[in-house]
Copies of this chain bind each other. A is one copy, B any other.
Amino acid sequence: MKIGELSTLTGCSVQTIRYYEKEHLLPKTQRSEGNFRLYDDASVEHLLFIKRCRSLDLSLSEIRQLLELRYSPNAPCDEVSHMLSSHINHVRARIEELINLEDQLASLLHSCPSQGTVKKCEILKNLTATQKIMS
């Protein structure tokens, strides 16, 4: 199959597929006479693996490592879980940050009744004056 079909089968855009090839996440394929990339079922599989990893927010370089492991059947598998658990730690840390942010933003929003003019806006005052926000 050509790149367009791979694209519709996997839901990755054509440009993204070419980009993955350039980044060595996909191996270079055979080409047709007219220099079109040719793919097979294994390519679909391979690309879907990448897509699932991306949907878990793994970086391309993490995925590259996973792909290497995937094709090294006798490697110890704890590398895989190690990577995943460090990744989950990042995610958890980011969640903490965002929840904190949400609190700050909510306090800031409550601090101003949103009537009147900017001159008296408590939000802008709070952004100007202090790191702490009074709610």
Contact = CB atoms under 8 A, between A and B. Distances in A.
Interface stretch (A19-27, A32-40, A116-124): A116-124
- SS of A interface (majority): helix
Nearest to A127: B52
A1 interface: no
B98 A84 contact: no
Identical subunits present: 2
A24 to B, nearest CB: 19
A100 B52 CA distance: 14
Interface string A39-61: 00000010001001100110000
Nearest to A78: B114
A84 B123 contact: yes
